[in-house]
Amino acid sequence: MVVVVAVLFGLVIAALQSIDRHAARTHAAAKQIAQNTVALWGLEQTNRDLTAIRDAARAAQRTGIGAVVAAPLTAVADKVQGWVGGSEQQDDKSS
């Protein structure tokens, strides 16, 4: 009887050690994923900011608030358009 209990206890310990090893690997992988994706949050915010700058430049150009203000914003808008994507610029030129 003692031998059976000892064997079962050994099996439980082995299973717990296996779970511990898998949990450690999962934790390490999750940390690596977090490190690899942390920059994406910053890029998302940068993309929103650049889109806002581009839209402000286009609005300034449309309202005619003056070449002194509109020219630098338009230059930035053109540069941002290349970074963000080209389809929206074509849509705006048609209006």
pLDDT tens for each residue of 25-64: 999 999 999 888 888 877 888 888 888 877 877 777 777 6
Instruction: Please check the confidence at residue 24 and state whether its pLDDT lies above 70.
Output: yes
* Domain of residue 49, residue span: 42-86
pLDDT over 70 percentage in the chain: 75
Judge whether 26 lies within some domain. no
- Asked if residue 76 lies in contact with residue 54, where contact means CB atoms within 8 angstroms, the answer is yes
Judge whether 75 lies within some domain. yes
90: confidence class by pLDDT, cuts 50, 70, 90: very low
Q: How many domains does the chain have?
A: 1
- For the residues 72-90, what does the mean pLDDT come to? 64
- Asked if residue 73 lies in contact with residue 56, where contact means CB atoms within 8 angstroms, the answer is yes
Judge whether 7 lies within some domain. no
pTM: 0.44
What's at 59, amino acid-wise? A
